[in-house]
Structure 1
Amino acid sequence: MTAQGVPLRRRLLVGIVSVTALAVALFLVPLAIAMNILYHDQTVAALQRDAAWVAAAVPDEPRAPLKLPTGLPGDLAIGGYTTAGARLFGNGPAHSRLATSGKDGRVHDMVEDGFLAVSAPVPSDEGPALIIRVATPNSQVEQRIQQAWLLMGGLALIVIALAAGAAVRQSARLAAPLERLTAAAQALGGGDFSVRAAPSGLREADQAAQALEMTARRLGDVLARERAFSADVSHQLRTGLTGLLLGLESALSRPGTDLTPAVQAALTRGERLQEVLDDLVRLSRDSRAPAERLDVDALMEETRQEWHGPLARQGRRLTITVEPALPPVTAQPAAVRQILRVLLDNALRHGQGEVAITVSDVGPGTAVEVSDHGPGMAPDSDPFTRSSGHSHGIGLALARSLAEAEGGRLVLSRASPPLFSLLLPGHDT
């Protein structure tokens, strides 16, 4: 049903009933005309038969009293006329124009004085000298025709009523799926992504319902991912901001301490936090941007410069190994950079010993592996779930979502000591 204009149900009802009424009228009018001609011709034929019977039984020169044949209908007016139209005997008008037309020796018929009359000449050697006129009330013929018309009109009304009933049912059958689709679309616009349209049996409506259902499901998935992404980003930024604030508060809590190192560390962390924020904002805005060819060597050198210092302060080494002649890699640098930051931050906070990054060729793509010598994860745990009970699970969930957005995968290849593998797709050449 549209917001403006005639409702679909009414349009279908009026359209079907109008077409049916027009078809009935186009069929009924010619039928009524044909019925009128048929009844008239049947009556004339019967009168001609009776007139010929009387003409055969009457002598050339009738004498009174004249005895007419028996078995004739009682409502007939039978009379004998001269060729001049004057009545000699029987019933009828004193002068008949129909009788005068019978002098040519043929049978004639016409409506005369309210009667449908037929004239038949009496056979004679010298030509017709006597005309027999047989007539029946024309009102009886018209009444018979009117009864036939009433019957046809009644049948026409029944047909139109049946068409109206079928139109009501069909319009409801056609409009109901559209009304349900409208309600589902309104619910979808209101934020209900669980809308489902029941099948209606109409292929086009069911296809539209399936398309709407798939759209609702995709929108729900996208919204869920966006919400999860926002939560993960919030956690990632909050962690960096907390470290920055704790460093400043620790320096301020010691009177007489030189604040220069603390300020420099805060600036470094702030610059890193700003870079993380810029990358995440870029990724959220360009989520559908085409991926570009990744410069693996430049990214590994950037990673070395960023993470060598934090690991060295804990007495830990960072080893980066890149195989030569790697195949081209397709990914957004900001996404891969953030995934590595999550993995290295996880190794810095929860791992032990040397941290190793290995980039190798795995056939259709490239694998980036990050490992350390810490205790790792429990064998039956999933580090990528937000409800896993680990504080770093949120960051790993963000890293996995970024990897999937790039068409890759992030998996835990070994639980203890931990080994994370980032699989990136190759570049189509």
Structure 2
Amino acid sequence: MRQRVMRVAVMAVLVALVLLAAPLAFGIQTSFFADERDELERVALAAAVHVPPQFVAGDHVELPAHERGTDVGVYDLSGRLRDGSGPRKADAITRLAQGGAVTRGRGDHQIVVAVPIPSGEQVIGVVRASTGTPQVWRRVALAWLGLAGAALVALITAVVVARRQARTLSAPLEALSAKAGAVAEGDLTARAEGSAIAEIDQVARTQNTMVEQLARWLEHERHFTSNASHQLRTPLAGLQLGLEAAAAAPAGICERP
């Protein structure tokens, strides 16, 4: 009984944890990558502000400081890297930004964001910001470990609570079984005690009623047997005495003349 209750409770908690943790883990991954793209876009926009209109004429660009592990490069419309760090030739994502819209994408184990550099109504270049996906995956893995730790704590708590509940549920049934065993061995004075569980109390009351009726029936049978024995005792005694007298008398006395 206890093991069954524990298994049911633990399985229910496991199913709930899986149903909760799976989408939460996916949400963590999606959120971390989205945050990284937003951060790269902010870095690229900050760099684009520092690009002067003379960039077209070949002026050098002073890029603002950015986080270590992030590549920021300025590309002209021919796709050549002019300043900063990144691939020497513009990739597909960077070329798409030449159309005037911010572009995002992933390539070669990197997250890439490209921001066009406007000058008046024209685009004079593109700022490309990128970072390696392994760095993001490390942060995701740490978050997943925290989530797994929380799930483990929840599971341990569920096991402790399930064990206590199993003990609470099984103890009255074990006591009820012991009383039933005592009745089966002939102790008709054994009565089941109440508990805090209504269903088990109902079974205990039913068992007590059954034992009381059984005790009354047995008492009635004892009275009936005693009375019948008393009623039959005198005739049987007379019959026994007559038989004994007949057996003791001489054979001739019993013959007719």
Per the normalisation by structure 1, the TM-score is 0.53
Q: Is the 8 A contact 1:55 1:132 kept in 2?
A: yes
**Secondary structure of the corresponding residue to residue 195 of structure 1:** coil
1:153-192 alignment runs, 5 A limit: 153-192=148-187
**Secondary structure of the corresponding residue to residue 19 of structure 1:** helix
Pick from 85, 90, 105 the counterpart of residue 91 of structure 1. 85
Q: Is the 8 A contact 1:39 1:141 kept in 2?
A: yes
CA distance in 2, matches of 1:100, 1:198: 83
Q: 1:92 to 1:254 in 2, by over 3 A?
A: closer
The equivalent residue for 2:24 is 31
The equivalent residue for 2:40 is 47
The equivalent residue for 2:74 is 80
1:64-79 alignment runs, 5 A limit: 65-70=60-65, 72-79=66-73
1:335-374 alignment runs, 5 A limit: none
Q: Which runs of 5+ in 2 are unaligned?
A: none
Q: 1:192 to 1:202 in 2, by over 3 A?
A: same
Shift of 1:77: 1.4
Shift of 1:45: 1.1
Q: Is the 8 A contact 2:21 2:147 kept in 1?
A: yes
Q: Which runs of 5+ in 1 are unaligned?
A: 1-7, 261-429
The equivalent residue for 1:58 is 51
Higher-Rg member (1/2): 1
Deviation track 1:195-245 (CA, whole Å, cap 9, x = no partner) reads 222222111111111111121122122212212322332232122222333
CA distance in 2, matches of 1:248, 1:14: 75
Q: Is the 8 A contact 2:52 2:61 kept in 1?
A: no
Per the normalisation by structure 2, the TM-score is 0.86
Which amino acid letter does the alignment assign opposite residue 136 of structure 2? V
CA distance in 2, matches of 1:218, 1:231: 20
Deviation track 1:53-86 (CA, whole Å, cap 9, x = no partner) reads 110111133356532234x323321111123432
Pick from 215, 220, 227 the counterpart of residue 222 of structure 2. 227
Q: Percent identity?
A: 33
CA distance in 2, matches of 1:117, 1:178: 65
Deviation track 1:320-373 (CA, whole Å, cap 9, x = no partner) reads xxxxxxxxxxxxxxxxxxxxxxxxxxxxxxxxxxxxxxxxxxxxxxxxxxxxxx
Matched, 1:209 2:204: yes
Query: Which has a greater percent of helix?
Result: 2
1:236-385 alignment runs, 5 A limit: 236-246=231-241
Q: Is the 8 A contact 1:47 1:135 kept in 2?
A: yes
Q: Is the 8 A contact 1:83 1:99 kept in 2?
A: no
Matched, 1:127 2:122: yes
Q: 1:90 to 1:255 in 2, by over 3 A?
A: closer
Pick from 117, 129, 136 the counterpart of residue 131 of structure 2. 136
The equivalent residue for 1:331 is none
Of structures 1 and 2, the one with the larger relative CO (CA 8 A, separation 6+) is 2
Size of the aligned set, in residue pairs, is: 252
**Secondary structure of the corresponding residue to residue 122 of structure 1:** strand
Q: Is the 8 A contact 1:110 1:118 kept in 2?
A: yes
Pick from 96, 100, 104 the counterpart of residue 101 of structure 1. 96
